[in-house]
Amino acid sequence: MGRLSQRRKVHKYVLGSEHPVRHKEDVLAVEEPLEIRLTGPAGTLKYSVTMRTPGDDFDLVAGFLISEGVVWEPGQIVSERFCAGEDAEGHQTFNVVDAQLRPGVALPDLGRNVVTSSACGICGTDSIEAVRRNSRHSPAHDAVRLLPELVAGLPARLRAAQALFDKTGGVHAAGLFSVHDEGSRAELECLREDVGRHNAVDKVVGWALREARLPLSGTVLQVSGRASFELVQKAAMAGIPVLAAVSAPSTLAVELAEESGVTLIGFSRGEGFNVYAGHERLAPVS
């Protein structure tokens, strides 16, 4: 847990006060690279490097491989392990993970050959069409229904569970809620935080894979940031029928949600929200 955050000395400016410049410590969210390697019968492939907050790295790798369409069932990843990697002082960095794939699971032809930043989950792909994959866990026919009051209350529940954000103010969150009692009740199943919003979602999806929970039918994925294309894609690949965000979606996110059968909700901030796709899953307002 110590690697999730780090204390740094800062100069705090409070203009108009008796002491306008103050020396204090601030707590920052850690951001470090994670190299993902894939091992199969044909050998080992250095697949990608992503910038992330350390922690739940095996979940992150598993979720990333689902999003990429490399795996879709728990048994397709035989094992995950940290590989040797040292910093300048000779300490193990735990910044390289090797995922061994089951025989019969094909290695991708090429690695992504780029560093994926904490701001973008699909920057290494060749084209938008390369990520318009058909999900093996399509949410299109998921029968989940939601009361609007339930949806409106999810951002506050997500925020209340964000321990790392409380310390740093610098991470995104993704929370998976299972829906019960005809859409009137939701249970928080898994919450993950990360400097990258796509990493937080990958960690949730990877947790579900490792717990043999896919497809994630009857669930809502509530995220703390905007609803971008890659987040809708990740939800669709995991069979999540509803994606709700506290900020705006992009046009491409809405298009993909309509194509894949994901209910896409934006500007969900307690008092209301906008439904951009799949409004039929919302119960009528009484």
Query: Which listed residue (83, 120, 123, 190) is catalytic?
Result: 120
Q: In this structure, are residues 272 and 152 in contact, taking their beta carbons and an 8 Å threshold?
A: yes
Contact yes or no for 149/285 (Cβ under 8 A)? no
List, in sequence order, the alpha helices (H) in the chain: 57-67, 148-160, 163-168, 197-210, 229-238, 251-260
Question: Between helices 229-238 and 197-210, what is the axis angle to 10°?
Answer: 0
CB 31 within 8 A of CB 52: yes
CB 232 within 8 Å of CB 67 = no
Active-site residue 83, yes or no?
no
- Residue 154's nearest CA partner among 142, 165, 162 is 162
CA–CA separation, 50 and 116 (whole Å): 5
Distance separating alpha carbons of residues 76 and 68, to the nearest angstrom: 14
Contact status, residue 194 vs residue 171, Cβ threshold 8 Å: yes
Using an 8 Å Cβ cutoff, are 146 and 281 in contact?
yes
Scan for tokens 């598993």, then name that residue.
Answer: 62
Residues catalogued as catalytic: 120
